[in-house]
Amino acid sequence: MEIKKGIGVSPGVAISTAFVLDAEEVPIPQRHVEPGKLKNEVTRLRKATAASKAEIVELRDRMAAEIGQETAAIFDFHLRMLEDKVLLRNLGRTIRDKHVTAEHAVAAVFRDYAKTFLAMPQFMAERVKDVNDIQKRLLRNLIGQSRQVLNHLRRDVVLLAHDLTPSQTANLDRRHILGLATDAGGRTSHTAIVAHALGIPAVVGLKDVTVSVQPNDTVIIDGNRGVVIVNPDEATLDEHRQYVQRLVQVERQLIELRDLPAVTRDGHEVTLLGNIEFPAEAATVIEKGGAGIGLYRTEYLYLSSEVEPTEQQHYDAYCEAIRLADGRPIVIRTLDLGADKYTQDRALVPERNPFLGLRSIRYCLRHLDAFKTQIRAVLRAATTGPVSMLFPLITNVMELRQAKMIVRDVAEDLEEEQAEFIPDVPIGMMIEVPSAALMCDAFAKEVDFFSIGTNDLVQYTLAVDRGNEMVAPLFTVAHPAVLRLIKDVIRAGQRHNVSVSLCGEVGADPEYTLLLLGLGLRIFSVAPPAIPEIKQIIRSITIEQATQCARKVMTFDSDKEILSYMRDRLRHLVPDLQR
Amino acid sequence: MKLSDIMVPDAIIPELAATTRDEAIKEVISGLAAAGAIPKSRVNEVVEAVLQRENQATTGIGKGVALPHAKLKCVKKVVGTIARSADGIDFAALDSKPVYNLIVLLSNPNDPDEHLRAMETIFKHVQREIFRKFLRQSETKQAIVELIDEADELG
Amino acid sequence: MQLVDTASRFDSHITVSNGEAEMDAKSIMSVMQLAATQGTVLRLKASGEDAQDALEAMAALIRSGFGE
């Protein structure tokens, strides 16, 4: 049994078998295969060989047409290799004699060939490159077969990986994944967001859990305590099973809260909304007692398919979310990708510092067709329910105005086409960079609402990578600088009659609710599973208490003091909050 | 796409005679027609389209720049030009300040991609403070042409 | 590669040897290991119905300098 400590970023406890993803996004194939399964491996190899050959033929024909017969000749060479009966016999024999997977056979046999060629005179040694090429291609086709597995799991598992990117999680089989654990990542890493969305426990920042676990090991993921236990002994298993029972009970109590309003003890109304990534989650938000969707992250539309989504796909997704929100307001945020495989793969030259590069709104303003497509879908979908549009990562007024100009152009186009649409959808912007927070007064004059994105705001203000587990302790909203910015933005909103919501992960953190309310925040948008708990806190306190808490907190100058004080106040004011 | 692919040098107006928004737009469109970029017989039609768009929502996006634009069938390929007003013109701009430079863009409705590429390019350069500053200071056609070339070179 | 292509046209089992190792002439991976450069003496062996034709074709190829 091995106990590993990390950061619990999504509550709950899961006990299941491990499914491990290695750093290359590839399921680690087991080395050894049961004798009964060997035939299957040989078949897999045959299929991968055929697929590789087909790829090469296509490449060769294309090259021949585009560049010339001579360059295409190299592919003939590759083809000969894959047709080589001696090689294929070798591979088959390795699988059968050594009882290994097709991948391992390929790696072993090709390694031997490479060794032989490298030991030969110069002109043959160059052929090693070709041999490696074929090996890579074969492996890719073999592993590509297993990649399907992530989409169609046949049993419940907990997923362990070095890190999880949006493109990986976009296609997860959500019915069977009970928990997540990663080596990398911090509190607002992508894993946290997905885990919240799925309502499953997650622990990140474990540093080396993927090397401590074998596929199919039993694993406990405790998102509450931030602990992962590999191959727990019987006693530990029992203890956790009972823990899960208790949690289920607490969950039931929180469900009762659903239909009660989010009003403080002294009668102040708070708007509790939900963050969603997929349309279906809108139903979950309502189920948990949310008053609407405060943030619909549209990135998944782009990540879950190989090609850019069409206007119809956008439109269908938005209409579905609106329908499930059942008349409640929904805020749709335009594409917020970058610093991510999506834009980096498509970039001619990968950016050196994607987080500070061509992302989100900047990317959109340089790719107006994609931007317009999305806006068109939003304006059209707005006829079916109360929709607002939210622009991410606005750093200066000019780009905001340009974006608004594009919205007007889209409206003009739709008007000409005589399409049904709402021309004056409310437009808001994320406050997630220091420049936007510091200039919030100027921005307040140009938008209908603000949404504070604490995840990125903390990252850019404190210069801490939110996905880097090595600096994770430095990442905190409780830093006085961040709190000051939040307070200023809320005040500016009040001054200019612009509504201010907070959609970062911190909104779901019970330890911050008092403080945020005390700073004047009245609109929270959180991951759906957190809605009942936050509502319970709101209903248990008075704004007077919240204001006092905030006043006190703003006099501290270290985040540790602040956190400790908030924890204390929470315990005091909401004693029956199950944690 | 580069700015020089869009901008018609002969139609550049370094010193607008007009003092009002509508007059300025008329002057620029006439200039484009004189340079052969659009059919002379369509000047009124084009002016009306640009003004219509302008009336729907100002293209004065602030910092002294306005981006009047329209899509018309009589426009063969995407064309544009730059005009300057030393004293500034009221465009009901979003920052309530006068507009010193008009960057006009005309395109064909059947080629939305070209229009978007052109807008992307214009946006990219207009976002740079140094481009806007130099543009405002460029008092001759030659100076504006040089600025366009420099901007294109910068990428 | 032309060696392998030519050999593959025939049904017979064909081997080529550089004096140290004997390899299946239809297997490019095997043939590559022979490291045959200009001047290497190659011995061809064929067994099967079209063995004679095979050997003649292979010999012709080698004599012609592989078309290089």
With helix as H, strand as E and coil as C, how does C5-62 read?
Answer: HHHHCCCCEEEEECCCCEEECCCHHHHHCCCCCCCCCCEEEEECCCHHHHHHHHHHHH
User: Is the CB of residue A118 less than 8 Å from the CB of residue A85?
Assistant: no
Which range, A11-20, A160-169, C34-43, has the best average confidence (pLDDT)?
A11-20
DSSP secondary structure code for residue A32 in this structure: B
| Nearest-CA distance B95 → chain A (Å) | 9
DSSP secondary structure code for residue A263 in this structure: B
CA distance A481 to A485: 6
Give CA separation, A521 vs A260, A543, C36, in Å: 20, 11, 79
Question: Which of these, A458, A397, A470, lies nearest to A429 by C-alpha position?
Answer: A397
Query: Nearest CB to B94: which of A366, A368, A401?
Result: A401
Q: In the prediction, which pLDDT does A154 show?
A: 75
- pLDDT average, residue stretch B103-117: 91
CA distance A117 to A132: 11
Q: In the prediction, which pLDDT does A181 show?
A: 94
CA distance B55 to B48: 10
The active-site residue, picked from A190, A240, A314, A479, is: A190
User: Which residue in chain B has the smallest CA separation from A396?
Assistant: B127
Q: In the prediction, which pLDDT does A169 show?
A: 64
- pLDDT average, residue stretch A135-160: 73
Residue A15 has pLDDT above 90, yes or no: yes
pTM of the model: 0.64
A440 is catalytic: no
- B51 CB within 8 Å of a chain A CB: no
Give CA separation, A473 vs A113, A214, A396, B18, in Å: 48, 29, 30, 61
CA distance A321 to A386: 11
Q: In the prediction, which pLDDT does A438 show?
A: 96
Residue A534 has pLDDT above 90, yes or no: yes
User: Does residue A33 sit in helix, strand or coil?
Assistant: coil
pLDDT bucket at A152, cuts 50 / 70 / 90? low
Give C4's contacts in chain A (Cβ within 8 Å): 80
The whole domain housing B113 covers 3-154
A190 is catalytic: yes
CA distance A84 to A86: 5
- B136 CB within 8 Å of a chain A CB: no
Task: Give the rounded distance of the alpha carbon of B41 from its chain centre.
Answer: 20
Query: Nearest CB to C32: which of A76, A85, A124?
Result: A124
Residue A35 has pLDDT above 90, yes or no: no
Task: Check CB contact under 8 Å for A401 and B127.
Answer: no
Q: With pLDDT > 90 as the criterion, what percentage of chain A qualifies?
A: 51
Give A86's contacts in chain C (Cβ within 8 Å): 24, 27, 29-30
Query: Higher model confidence: residue A27 or residue A483?
Result: A483
Task: Give the rounded distance of the alpha carbon of A402 from its chain centre.
Answer: 28
Q: Which of A118-122, A135-139, B1-5, B55-59 has the lowest mean pLDDT?
A: A118-122
pLDDT bucket at A314, cuts 50 / 70 / 90? very high
C2-67, superfamily in CATH? HPr-like (3.30.1340.10)
Give CA separation, A513 vs A271, A293, A360, B70, C5, in Å: 13, 19, 29, 49, 75
pLDDT bucket at C67, cuts 50 / 70 / 90? low
- pLDDT average, residue stretch A491-505: 96
- pLDDT average, residue stretch A572-577: 86
Residue A166 has pLDDT above 80, yes or no: no
CA distance A100 to A114: 20
Q: In the prediction, which pLDDT does A186 show?
A: 65
Q: Which of A323-327, C1-5, C50-54 has the lowest mean pLDDT?
A: C1-5
Residue A23 has pLDDT above 50, yes or no: no
- Domains belonging to chain A, first-starting first, are 2-23+162-245 (3.50.30.10), 35-150 (1.10.274.10), 260-573 (3.20.20.60)
Q: With pLDDT > 70 as the criterion, what percentage of chain B qualifies?
A: 100
Interface residues of C toward A, Cβ cutoff 8 Å, are 1, 4-5, 24, 26-30, 32-33, 35, 37
A94-130: b or e for each residue (b if 16 or more CB lie within 10 Å)?
A: bbbeebbbbbbbbbebbeebbebbeeeeeebeebbeb
Residue C68 has pLDDT above 50, yes or no: no
- pLDDT average, residue stretch A223-246: 91
Residue A357 has pLDDT above 80, yes or no: no
Which range, A9-23, A152-166, A318-332, C34-48, has the best average confidence (pLDDT)?
A318-332
| Nearest-CA distance B101 → chain A (Å) | 15
pLDDT bucket at A382, cuts 50 / 70 / 90? very high
Give B56's contacts in chain A (Cβ within 8 Å): 408, 411-412
Q: Residue B104: give its domain's CATH number.
A: 3.40.930.10
How many interface pairs between A and C have CB atoms less than 8 angstroms apart?
A: 35
Residue B49 CB contacts under 8 Å (≥ 6 apart), including other chains: B70, B71, B72
Mean pLDDT of chain B: 93
Query: Nearest CB to A398: which of B62, B109, B120?
Result: B62
Which range, A250-259, A304-313, A460-469, B30-39, has the best average confidence (pLDDT)?
B30-39
- pLDDT average, residue stretch A133-160: 74
- pLDDT average, residue stretch A379-389: 97
| Interface predicted TM-score (ipTM) over 0.90 | no
Those of residues 48-77 in A touching chain C at CB distance below 8 A are 76-77
CA distance B25 to B102: 8
| Nearest-CA distance C27 → chain A (Å) | 5
pLDDT tens, residue by residue, A330-350: 999 999 876 565 555 556 566
Residue A451 has pLDDT above 90, yes or no: yes
Mean pLDDT of chain A: 86
* Long-range contacts at C37-40 (CB < 8 A, ≥ 24 apart): C37/A121, C37/A123
CA distance A494 to A487: 11
How many interface pairs between A and B have CB atoms less than 8 angstroms apart?
A: 44
CA distance A196 to A290: 15
Give A395's contacts in chain B (Cβ within 8 Å): none
What are residue A19's DSSP bridge partners?
A: A159
Task: Check CB contact under 8 Å for A398 and B61.
Answer: yes
pLDDT bucket at A24, cuts 50 / 70 / 90? very low
Residue A406 CB contacts under 8 Å (≥ 6 apart), including other chains: A365, A368, A371, A372, A375, B119
Task: Check CB contact under 8 Å for A368 and B63.
Answer: no
Task: Check CB contact under 8 Å for C35 and A124.
Answer: yes
Chain position carrying tokens 């018609």? B8
Number of domains in chain B: 1
pLDDT tens, residue by residue, A393-404: 999 999 999 999
- Provide the residue type at A328 as one letter: R
A in contact with B (at least 3 C-beta pairs within 8 A): yes
Q: With pLDDT > 90 as the criterion, what percentage of chain B qualifies?
A: 81
Give CA separation, A213 vs A28, A159, A231, in Å: 11, 11, 9
